[in-house]
Structure 1
Amino acid sequence: MEKAESIFIAANRWVLIVILAAMSIIVFSNVVARYLTNYSIIWADEVARYLMIWMTFLGAGLTLRYGGHVAITNVMDGLPPRAQRILRAVIVVCLLAFFLLMIWIGYAYAMRVHLQLTPATRIPFSYIYAAIPVGFALLAIHLLLIVRGYVAENRFKEAADVPGDIAGSLSA
């Protein structure tokens, strides 16, 4: 199971790296082209925007894994340990329910706009809106992978604890 989790995390990270690199190259190329030739790449802004959308949804799960989302812990801190664990379990159930609802709604929305085409690249908008169900599915998977440590100990993964960590593998 740890090997599968390691592959899953590494794949998620590399997809984000590739998307960020593609965005950077596209935007940089567009700036250079505009500066040197007074010509703008017609599709550059659109593609960079859609890549940003995908990067946001695909990266949300990794951010959840490390506890990087905004949290207000005043109520949690004021409770006894057993009540804290119960509250964290309730939070996990609510998050999972929300993620599943968003997968369903996101899929329905993506299917609803499949006939609409983007202005510059002329691809169906469903490809862009597919980021919603895919991103929330990844959020659900990441949540399920950290649920035991989170509910029991209010612990998120640290970069050094995560199998397949890019930083750890580079320094080893």
Structure 2
Amino acid sequence: MRKLEHLFVTLNATAVILCLIAMSGIVFANVSLRGLTNHSIPWADEVARYLMIWMTFLGAGLVLRQGGHVAITNLQDALPGRAQIALRAALVLLLLGFFLFMAWVGRDYMLRMQFQRTPATRIPFSYVYAAMPVGFGLLIVHLLLVARGFVCAGRYRSDEGAPAHG
């Protein structure tokens, strides 16, 4: 199971890195062409924006694994041991419910946008908005993979599987 989780995290991180490389390359090429030839690539800004959207949603689960999202722990730190566990369990359930709801809303929004096309590339907007249900689906998987360690010990798992304090 740990190898499967490691593969999942590696594939997710690779997708984020590929989005970053593509976005950086497109922006660099467009700025260079604009500076050198006074012409720019008509679709570059649009594609870079959509890659950033995808990169953000794909990377959110990886950040969750590291405990990198904003957290206020004053209440948790003030509670005794069992109450901390109960609070963390409630947080996991709340997050899971929110992620499921947002994946459903994102899917609905994606389906509504299937007939509109992007201005420069003329691809259906549903491809752009698919980032939302995919990203929240990944958040659900990442949350479920780290939930036990977080609830029981208040720790997140790093990419290598070693615990990292949140």
Q: TM-score, normalised to structure 2's length?
A: 0.95
RMSD across aligned positions (CA): 0.9
Q: By how many angstroms is 1:29 displaced?
A: 0.2
Secondary structure in 1 matching 2:69: coil
Pairing 1:143–2:148 present: no
Structure 1: stretches of 5+ with no match in the other structure: 163-172
2:143 counterpart SS class: helix
Aligned-partner residue type, residue 105 of structure 1: V
User: Structure 1 counterpart of 2:148, which letter?
Assistant: R
Aligned-pair identity in percent equals 61
Query: Which consecutive aligned stretches of 4+ in structure 1 deviate over 2 angstroms post-superposition?
Result: 158-162
Deviation at 1:157, TM superposition (A): 1.7
User: Equivalent residue for 1:64?
Assistant: 64
Distance 1:81 1:142 in 2: 25
Quick check: 2:58–2:135 contact (8 Å CA) kept in 1?
Answer: yes
TM-score with structure 1 length normalisation? Answer: 0.92
Alpha-carbon distance in 1 for matches of 2:73, 2:107: 32
Secondary structure, in 3 states, of the residue corresponding to 1:121?
coil
Q: Any conservation in 1 of the 2:9–2:159 contact (CA below 8 Å)?
A: no
Per the alignment, residue 36 of structure 1 pairs with 36
Distance 1:111 1:148 in 2: 34
Counterparts of 1:77 and 1:10 in 2: how far apart (Å)? 32
Q: 2:6 touches 2:161 (CA, 8 Å); kept in 1?
A: no
For residues 108 and 148 of structure 2, the distance between their equivalents in structure 1, rounded to whole angstroms, comes to 31
Q: After the TM superposition, which residues 151-166 of structure 1 pair with which residues of structure 2 at under 5 Å, given as runs?
A: 151-161=151-161
1:102 corresponds in structure 2 to: 102
Residues 77-92 of structure 1 mapped to structure 2, 5 A cutoff: 77-92=77-92
